[in-house]
Amino acid sequence: MTTEIKKTNCHYCGYLCAFDATLEDGRVTKLTPDPTRYPYDASVAQRCVRWPLNLEKLYDDTTRVNYPLRRKGERGSGKWERISWDEALDEIASKLKQLVAEHGPWTVASAIGGPHAVYWPLHRFMTFIGSPNNMGIGPICWNPRIWMDTMTYGWSVECDFRPGLTQCLVLWGTNPAESDNSLFWRNIADYARSGGNLIVVDTRLSMTAARASIWLHPFPGTDTVLAYALARVIIEEDLYDHEFVEKWCYGFDEFKTAAFERTLEEASELTKVSVEDIQAAARTYATNCPAGLLSGRGVDQIGPNTAPLHRVLASLRAITGNIDVPGGTLLNERPTFLSEMELEGSARLSQESREHGLNEPDCGIQSYRGFAKADARTAKLGRHLPMRYLTSPLPVRVWNAAVTGEPYKVSAIIVDGANPLVTYADTRLVKAAFEAMDLIVDFEFVMTPTAQMSDYVLPAAAALEHPAFQAMGGVSDFCYGGPAACEPQFERREDYVILRELALRMGDAEENWPAKNLTEELARTIAPTGMSWEAFTVTGQCGNPAHYYKHEEIDPETGEPRGFATESGKVELANPFLASMGAGRTARFFPVPGVHVDRDEGDGCVTMITGARKQPYWASSYFEVPSMRRRHPKPTVGMSAATAERLGLAEGDEVLISRQDTPEVEIVQYVHLENMVDGVVSAEYGWWYPERRAGAPDYSGCFESNVNLLTRGTVPMDPEPLIGTWIYNGIPCRIRKKERE
């Protein structure tokens, strides 16, 4: 027997932790956390319940999709036949060419997910066929922060939290204790334990908020009001950084006027946060520098107030002088490796295709028109944002185009590692769109509800079977990852390989896909840094050391300070560019009917939030794993004891939840009492029941507890004209105890 040790990475969440794999006669038999590579601490893996799935699933011949499958019978029949890869790719290529010839290339959409999927190969494929409609959930995850930070500072930033240096840390709408479980969270926990100033903004007393020295719990969607209230205290009490504001901030007086629009008492009434807590948090943040401020998905999902909030948070960092300082906020550098935009091949997409994007012409900067204008600004410093992420169409527009044929017919979709039937807003609309499509192709490793509605399900390689590479969307000069431990098992293939072979069958030039597999392509990606792939697999990371105060560096060509890549060359607290895109020069709060106004709390009325990550699952993943289900067997809806008492509910009660405007649609969840804002409930998302019958009509029970039956996408852009983020946090609902049959 031959034994060897190979470096590799886990793929069962987005952090891609490093491991050493023991192979005996080529078969992986053991995994050991590798403390020499990211995340640099074996104790992180010891607390994680997901990584053992790497071995459990690698050789799984029961729940894994291991061979190309073609639907038999009607869509949703649950019947499949195994076919060869050549049959599958030839048939899919032929059908795609036929649909493109009939309707135009924009008739094809895509949906990308993770963590086992690689985004840019699918984006490159969409560029090749000429489709602008690479759909994703970016508008409610990542895009709002990247857009608003870039528009404010000229490029993206990241929290530069450094234990021992950072004097205050604000976590706004993020719960790394459950969503992260990485070295970052361990450092935060140690920081809080040692008496560090940790401020957490969350409607729930999450595991992270429980460690905070100050917990601010705003009513869902009122975060913009709270952020402005903090700014008011900082300005009113003269706690802001005068030198940085006077030298490097544009529009301070306009920002001050916006911050003073409400008194602290009025802000407290709207947010349900006491004046005293607002003052304490503002003073702590402003007087303990350097201070970090990190926001998360929880505030990427508050509809029209998402972009305004991120604008105010960006301004808070600036007025306290925490921009591009060690231990505060780092202004990222462009990547020295191939950028995401280069890998996507986005420049090849024709103007005609861009004009057919479903976000054109009314979706502000989340569109090809908006991206072109924004890219002209960042190009001043030779930087380009990832176009395909930041132009992804709002999913509701894709679904409506499939159902109605307006403005044109979306007739096909390629899904890679996503599960839109469960995880996208408005499940009934998604189902109707799938039913109206001519072709659905899904790259997967389990038969999700989305896969069950597909025409072809192709077996995707996952953890240990293909290399890992995380480049943060190409907005910073840092990447990490590692090699595969073994070849793909059974007949699984890397998504890059699948898309390459499909593109070549459809007539793309081989020079556009120069690498034959993902390892070769990743070697090409990091080659500009001077590092080889072999060296990268040893260190597990690539990037130059951070350096700070870049705005003060002297440009050798002009002899002037470098400044910021904005129109004014400064941090723009009042933003002329965003005003030209239909927003105000400063951000403003938009009351949402039924949520931000007083209403009758009788008849089971509550405000629902959703999307909070719960261990051990990842979105809609791992529900088929018995060990996971034993840990968390039922979907729970969290609420305070006072809310439960008002509703006549108790821990563990089975309840029915519905929207106030569509009471006929109800989902089943189970009460869990927790410390959170009264009148608000937090419903779990991602639920389906793999143990139940696959196929129509219920698709493994995805219409029973799936909270996306109660969410809606955004159709009109009014009143927020920039991104079109839909509401997951702040939905007027009713909840009632389910009567026993």
Mean pLDDT confidence for 442-458: 97
pLDDT the model gives residue 602: 64
d(CA 692, CA 737): 24
Q: Give me the helix-helix angle, 223-236 and 275-287, nearest 10°.
A: 60
Q: What is the pLDDT of residues 339-361, one digit of tens each?
A: 999 999 998 999 999 999 999 98
pLDDT-derived band at 741 (thresholds 50, 70, 90) equals low
pLDDT the model gives residue 592: 82
Mean pLDDT confidence for 676-705: 96
List b or e across 707-739, with b for residues whose CB sees 16 or more CB atoms inside 10 angstroms.
bbbbbbbbeebeebbbbbbbbbbbbbbbbbeee
Mean pLDDT of the chain: 93
Which of 614, 609, 605, 626 minimizes the C-alpha distance to 689?
A: 626
- pLDDT above 70 covers what percent of the chain? 98
Asked if residue 13 has pLDDT above 80, the reply is: yes
Token pair belonging to 356: 């057919």
Mean pLDDT confidence for 186-215: 95
108, containing H or E segment = strand 108-112
The CATH class of the 69-142+333-543 domain is alpha beta
Which of 437, 460, 436, 438 minimizes the C-alpha distance to 447?
A: 460
List b or e across 219-257, with b for residues whose CB sees 16 or more CB atoms inside 10 angstroms.
bbbbbbbbbbbbbbbbbeeeebbeebbeebbbbbeebbe
pLDDT-derived band at 46 (thresholds 50, 70, 90) equals confident
pLDDT the model gives residue 739: 85
User: Which of 606-620, 650-664, 698-712 is predicted with the least confidence, judged by mean pLDDT?
Assistant: 606-620
Q: Which CATH superfamily is domain 157-331+568-580 in?
A: Dimethylsulfoxide Reductase, domain 2 (3.40.228.10)
d(CA 663, CA 420): 23
Q: What is the pLDDT of residues 499-547, one digit of tens each?
A: 999 999 999 999 999 999 999 999 999 999 999 999 999 999 999 999 9
Asked if residue 473 has pLDDT above 90, the reply is: no
Token pair belonging to 371: 């991206």
Residue 57 in contact with residue 464, Cβ under 8 Å?
no
Asked if residue 181 has pLDDT above 70, the reply is: no
User: Which of 103-107, 187-191, 349-353 is predicted with the least confidence, judged by mean pLDDT?
Assistant: 187-191
pLDDT the model gives residue 47: 79
d(CA 597, CA 716): 21
pLDDT the model gives residue 598: 46
**Beta-bridge partner residues of 732:** 607
505, containing H or E segment = helix 495-505
Asked if residue 415 has pLDDT above 70, the reply is: yes
Q: What is the largest CA-CA distance in the chain?
A: 79
Question: Residue 521: left if φ>0, alpha if ψ -120 to 50, beta else—which one?
Answer: alpha
d(CA 44, CA 206): 19
pLDDT the model gives residue 44: 76
* Phi, psi torsion values for 610, nearest 5 degrees: -155, 170
* Phi, psi torsion values for 648, nearest 5 degrees: 70, 35
* Phi, psi torsion values for 709, nearest 5 degrees: -65, -15
Mean pLDDT confidence for 186-194: 92
Residue 270 in contact with residue 597, Cβ under 8 Å?
no
Of the ranges 8-22, 107-121, 263-277, 379-393, the best mean pLDDT one: 263-277
**Beta-bridge partner residues of 654:** 670
Q: C-alpha 740: how far from its chain's center?
A: 38
Mean pLDDT confidence for 705-721: 87
Asked if residue 381 has pLDDT above 80, the reply is: no
Q: How far is CA 238 from CA 131, 267, 279, 287, in A?
A: 52, 20, 13, 11
pLDDT-derived band at 295 (thresholds 50, 70, 90) equals very high
pLDDT-derived band at 182 (thresholds 50, 70, 90) equals confident
**Beta-bridge partner residues of 733:** 606, 659
pLDDT the model gives residue 378: 85
User: Which of 52-61, 411-420, 586-595 is predicted with the least confidence, judged by mean pLDDT?
Assistant: 586-595
Mean pLDDT confidence for 296-321: 95
Token pair belonging to 489: 């098992």
Q: How far is CA 155 from CA 320, 333, 371, 384, 429, in A?
A: 19, 8, 13, 9, 36
d(CA 528, CA 339): 10
pLDDT-derived band at 601 (thresholds 50, 70, 90) equals low
pLDDT the model gives residue 43: 75
Asked if residue 599 has pLDDT above 60, the reply is: no
**Beta-bridge partner residues of 109:** 413
Asked if residue 380 has pLDDT above 80, the reply is: no
Which of 688, 255, 116, 134 minimizes the C-alpha distance to 447?
A: 688
The one-character DSSP state at 472 is G
Asked if residue 596 has pLDDT above 80, the reply is: no
Asked if residue 42 has pLDDT above 80, the reply is: no
Residue range 605-737, CATH number:
2.40.40.20
